[in-house]
Amino acid sequence: MKPVEMARTASSHTSEAAKMIVVTGAAGFIGANLVKALNAKGITRVIAVDDLTQGDRFRNLVDCDIEDYLDKDEFLAALERGAFDGALSALLHQGACSDTTESNGRYMMQNNYRYSRRLLDFCLAQGTPFIYASSAAIYGAHNAFRESPECEGPLNVYGYSKHLFDQFVRRELARFTSQVVGLRYFNVYGPREQHKGRMASVAFHFFNQYRASGRVRLFEGSDGYADGEQRRDFVAVDDVVKVNLFFLENHLKSGIYNCGTGAAQSFNEVAVAAINAARKAQGVAPLTLAAMQAQGLIEYIAFPQDLKGKYQSYTQADLTALRAAGYQAPFLTVEQGVGRYCEALAAAG
């Protein structure tokens, strides 16, 4: 059965419980982890939507159970024809260009803003819950991270594309009659990010640098921070998935929420966790930061000229709104999450 026929059949005689969930960006990092988590809950009627021009991303879905795969453009065309009318129980929108160094504004706005507007319009017309990926890049160089306009000021076109969509949602939220949730992801790390290249997490890069060369490279001090002491809110993808599922299961809750741990930690701390996980796999004792520095396991390199004025040296999610919405689960620390992740990378070889 063709995807369009399948969707029409689903909309004509399936119960609400049997409707499908669409995950866009499903072969990507967070999207694939969401699909896997849905499967763990017994949900297999999942439509995976993505652009597999970068073909090796298929590996992220190999161990997932999905109803069908649709190319992004094919999916949009099917929406226009009404193929999915009445067929969806939710749309989890993770698809976007997430390269913060991308300079093609036209491409960025088409992929991140216009695409999101089209999907939101569909969901509002259908009364379908819409949960989408926003970004902490919206905050730019601010040092307060509340979901509020005075804290926002993106430093690149990626952040602006997310900011513009969040502005639209915030402006129109009061008139929406179905769930709309934006999650501002902070620095996410974890399994299924291997395809991201330079945009993979620092945890992934630090682990691989250490395994390849016996040392890790961090930026020298910037913006008043000492070497490697720039601080970010590093959040495990496991926790990001849990926040998504919380809102998926609470359809009456809408709004824009930070999705981070609420605790900034340094790049040095990430490096220590990654190196010690690799050392554990080698059967050798862990080291302190000072010992790693003394032994040359951590090297500090000049801060890149092209990142000056475009780099967030500090981020820390304000979780007030998320906690008020009812999400009370704890978040993994860098020591817990990065350590566990890098141990898994070591075990996988």
Burial class (CB in 10 A: 0-12, 13-18, 19+), 301: exposed
Classify the C-alpha dihedral 27-28-31-36 as positive or negative.
positive
Output the DSSP codes for 158-221.
Answer: HHHHHHHHHHHHHHHGGG--S-EEEEEE-EEE-SS-GGGGGGS-HHHHHHHHHHHHS-EEEEPP
Tokens at residue 323, please? 């906690």
Among 158, 185, 189, 311, which one carries the catalytic annotation? 158
CA 243 – CA 320 distance, rounded (Å) = 14
Among 72, 196, 242, 280, which one carries the catalytic annotation? 196
Residue closest to 139 by CA, chosen among 159, 158, 157? 159
Work out the number of other CB atoms within 10 angstroms of the CB of residue 43.
18
Would residue 158 show up in a list of annotated catalytic residues for this protein?
A: yes
Would residue 280 show up in a list of annotated catalytic residues for this protein?
A: no
Burial class (CB in 10 A: 0-12, 13-18, 19+), 150: exposed
Q: What amino acid positions are annotated as catalytic residues?
A: 158, 196
